Amino acid sequence: MRWWFDWRNCVDTSSISTNIAEGCGREGGRDFARFLQIAMGSATEVVYLILLCKDIQLLSPQIYEDLQIET
């Protein structure tokens, strides 16, 4: 099960920068804003996965605290 969280976190974190880069390549502010919104959604997914990993004890409390997640 842990491999799934590692894989999912990798996908979500790479999606953040990928969407920002894609938005930069678009013409017009509207398209760029849309891709920034998608990137924010991916960032929210990463925060959720970190919280979930802590809750199901795949992430130690110390590592969670080191990440300084604010919800």
DSSP the chain: -HHHHHHHHHHHHHHHHHHHHHHHTSSSHHHHHHHHHHHHHHHHHHHHHHHHHHHTTSS-HHHHHHHT---
Q: What is the pLDDT of residues 7-45, one digit of tens each?
A: 666 777 788 999 999 999 988 889 999 999 999 998 898
What's the pTM? 0.73
Most confident of 2-6, 41-45, 65-69: 41-45
What are 31's two structure tokens?
Answer: 């398209």
Count the domains in the chain. 1
Name residues whose C-beta falls within 8 Å of residue 56's C-beta, 6 or more positions apart in sequence: none
Cβ of 12: how many Cβ atoms within 10 Å?
Answer: 18
Domain hosting residue 38, numbered range: 2-67
